[in-house]
């Protein structure tokens, strides 16, 4: 295989000049750079990643920390991961995916071994124990989520509080006054996962502002969990005419249950889902939904990390506005049904 000395000889420069072209650590004239790059292409030279990292103090790798806990929706997590990987490649970076729930130990191991240039974290909790550890690292971090105290650490996410308000405002605009929330699993609420907390807070605030009668319940995974959740909602608020579903895995079993019990969507009950667009349109009835913008959030997280690596200014809190798309699962009800 060709070496850096072979490239230097072919380009008529010193090996150190080839190294500077590869690392970008010193300015090289455009003419010399072009000769070196032409020699690299002609010889098929591929610099060793470790040597590149040592020369530049950069690894061109971003860590994506996405613990695959039992209560997370893996397909949705993978949409975020795909967006991060795609955006990172546009910056000539690879992604190291960390899926084990290791707390601060995993972060410190990866950071202290200088394996990565920056870290992106998902599945944040309100009082996340990893935040103090992140502040001690030399690498910049970006959070997909919004913990209570994120001072000095950039955060990007969907504005889940605004999403809840958008869902209730849409249903209220269609005449619905008795609305239930099918929430994430109890484990998600117990961990105080930030997206669930923010959505629930927004839901309760909007309910009061709009003078609605609402009830909320977490939903265990599976058909039996959905059956129990719906029974609790019906028992606590008679005459429900609409549901907001903030639980992607509950959607299909919920629709199956409603169909089996003779409750037609949207004639008898309306539904607004909070889920990725492809999930909403893959259901037996196309669901009115607020999109989980995994592509936009993942891309923005990488862009923010790159700006931090370049020493540029960033907005330390970026919450994307929700976007509701009306499809076939909502109908307007008359005043006699309110």
CATH superfamily of 160-292+324-337: Response regulator (3.40.50.2300)
Omega before residue 318 within 30° of 0, cis: no
Judge whether 61-158+294-320 and 160-292+324-337 match in fold. Answer: yes
Radius of gyration of the CA atoms of the chain, in A: 25
* CATH architecture, domain 61-158+294-320: 3-Layer(aba) Sandwich (3.40)
What does the domain layout of the chain look like in residue ranges? 4-47, 61-158+294-320, 160-292+324-337
Backbone angles phi, psi at 179, to 5 degrees: -135, 135
Closest CA relative to residue 163, chosen from 125, 208, 214, 197: 197
Count the neighbouring beta carbons within 10 Å of the beta carbon of residue 278.
10
> For residue 175, what pLDDT is reported?
97
Give the torsion sign (CA, 264, 265, 266, 271).
Answer: positive
Taking 70 as the pLDDT cut, the residues of the chain under it are 23-25, 47-57, 335-338
Tell me, rounded to whole angstroms, the distance of Cα 180 from its chain centroid: 25
160, 199 contact by CB (below 8 A): yes
- Of how many residues is the chain composed? 338
H/E stretch holding 24: none
> For residue 54, what pLDDT is reported?
47
In this prediction the pTM is 0.82
The class of domain 4-47 in CATH terms is mainly alpha
> For residue 202, what pLDDT is reported?
98
H/E stretch holding 182: strand 178-183
Q: How far apart are CA 329 and CA 265, in angstroms?
A: 6
Pairing of strands 288-291, 324-325: antiparallel
């Amino acid at each position: 295989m060709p070496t850096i000395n072979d490239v230097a000889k072919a380009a008529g420069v010193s090996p150190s000049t080839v190294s500077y072209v590869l690392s970008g650590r010193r300015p090289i004239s455009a003419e010399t750079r072009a000769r070196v790059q032409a020699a690299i292409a002609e010889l098929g030279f591929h610099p060793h990643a470790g040597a590149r990292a040592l020369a530049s103090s950069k690894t061109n790798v971003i860590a994506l920390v996405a613990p695959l806990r039992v209560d997370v929706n893996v397909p949705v997590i993978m949409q975020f991961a795909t967006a991060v990987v795609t955006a990172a490649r546009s910056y000539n970076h690879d992604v190291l995916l960390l899926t084990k729930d290791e707390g601060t130990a995993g972060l410190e191991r990866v950071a202290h071994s200088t394996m990565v240039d920056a870290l992106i974290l998902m599945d944040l909790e309100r009082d996340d124990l990893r935040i103090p550890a992140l502040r001690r690292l030399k690498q910049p971090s970006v959070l997909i989520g919004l913990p209570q105290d994120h001072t000095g650490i950039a955060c990007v996410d969907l504005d889940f509080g605004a999403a809840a308000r958008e869902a209730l405002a849409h249903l209220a605009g269609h005449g619905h006054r008795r609305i239930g929330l099918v929430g994430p699993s109890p484990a998600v609420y117990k961990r105080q996962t930030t997206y669930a907390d923010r959505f629930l807070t927004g839901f309760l605030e909007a309910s009061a502002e709009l003078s609605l009668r609402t009830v909320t319940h977490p939903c265990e995974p599976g058909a039996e969990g959905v059956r129990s959740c719906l029974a609790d909602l019906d028992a606590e608020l008679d005459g429900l005419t609409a549901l907001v579903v903030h639980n992607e895995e509950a959607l299909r079993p919920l629709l199956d249950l409603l169909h089996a019990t003779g409750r037609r969507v949207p004639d008898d009950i309306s539904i607004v889902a909070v889920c990725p667009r492809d999930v909403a349109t893959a259901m037996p009835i196309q669901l009115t939904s607020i999109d989980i913008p995994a592509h936009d959030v993942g891309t923005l997280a990488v862009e923010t990390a790159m700006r931090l690596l370049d020493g540029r200014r960033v907005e330390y809190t970026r919450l994307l506005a929700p976007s509701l798309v009306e499809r076939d699962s909502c109908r307007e009800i008359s005043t006699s049904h309110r």
